[in-house]
Homo-oligomer: A and B are copies of this chain.
Amino acid sequence: MADNVIGIDIGGTNLRGALVDSEGNILKRMKILSEADQGIDKLIYNLTNFITDISKGEKVTNIGVGIPGILNSKNGTITQAPNILNVDDYPLRSALNEKLGSDLNVVIENDANSAALGEWWMGVSKDVSSMIMLTLGTGVGGGIVLGGKLWTGADGMAGEIGHITIYPDGARCNCGNYGCLESYASATAIRRMVKEGLEDENLNTVLRETTEKAHMEDVPKIVMEAARSGDDFSLRIWQELGKALGIGIASLVNLLNIEMVVIGGGVSNAWDLFIDTTYEEAHRRAFRAPMKRVKIERGLLRDDAGILGSVYLALHSSK
């Protein structure tokens, strides 16, 4: 029997992970603060302790780590991870090997790619060979599995589904482009739409009061609740998000003829408020046959998707 594997998801706030067997069963979970904002040394210190703690009493030779950023998976280096480390070209794998032993197989991957692979291995896409996962959070992350393999591109940078252009003259995206999917289907997009809407003083919406003193991060949830209690403007925001998503999915379906599109991330909690519009828009635009074939599903694994995807990668790679 194969040894157990550690899967870790490094976030801006938390460092979450699990001890997982080779069949994908989660044996033990842990969560600590990542303190990534205190610099790379602190993060590595926390990461090392985390690994030592969770593997207590176990022989662990494989570790998979998901990180929100651009990575060079081949040499185990973080190219760029602005939300986390503020370090460029940091050799994470060799740092961990130095602290924990050179026989440890450390695999790193972009967190959205890991999540896609997790859903494909153990989640809603268990029985399909090709799928795309969209993670709707602060931004829009993406991962592409084709023929049972993660497609990471020539340099590990593929899967940026949040940055396909939906509206060429649309809202400015954080990446510098205009009209990206991310600028219409993320928490950031929702906040922008709220702000722009409220500029019209004649607009009648509960959001004028409920969002006034709210923290930025809470806005999507507030808009979700307002829509569920019938606020017109809030409903329109989710339709706008659903439409952009549908336009993007239609292009993906025509381009890649995948079996499934999985939607996850915190923003997808408003599933019932946008998915009908998404379906409708995608159906209207994509070719009939590949659209009939594709299933659009909600992610099953939530926070475990990335952890399990990283475990899968660690299990299927050799150092």
Contact = CB atoms under 8 A, between A and B. Distances in A.
Interface of A: 70, 79, 128-130, 142, 144, 146-147, 151-161, 163-168, 175, 177-178, 247, 250-252, 254-259, 284-287, 289-290, 293
B251 A164 contact: yes
Given A157-B290, A177-B284, A289-B70, A256 B151 contact: yes
Contacts of A163: 251, 254, 286-287
A163 B265 CA distance: 28
16 contacts: A142-B255, A151-B256, A153-B258, A153-B290, A154-B257, A155-B257, A157-B257, A157-B290, A158-B255, A160-B287, A163-B254, A164-B254, A165-B166, A165-B285, A167-B168, A168-B247
Q: Number of copies of this chain in the oligomer? A: 2
Contacts of A79: 289
A70 to B, nearest CB: 7
Nearest to A255: B164
Q: Is the interface of A mostly helix, strand, loop or mixed?
A: loop
B289 A255 contact: no
A159 B166 CA distance: 19
A54 B73 CA distance: 49
Contacts of A147: 151
Nearest to A146: B151
| Residue from the set A168, A247, A250, A293 with the largest chain B CB neighbour count within 10 Å | A168
A150 to B, nearest CB: 11
Given A154-B293, A250-B165, A177 B285 contact: yes
A254 B160 contact: yes
A151 B175 CA distance: 28
A170 B112 CA distance: 32
Given A247-B168, A250-B177, A251-B165, A289 B258 contact: no
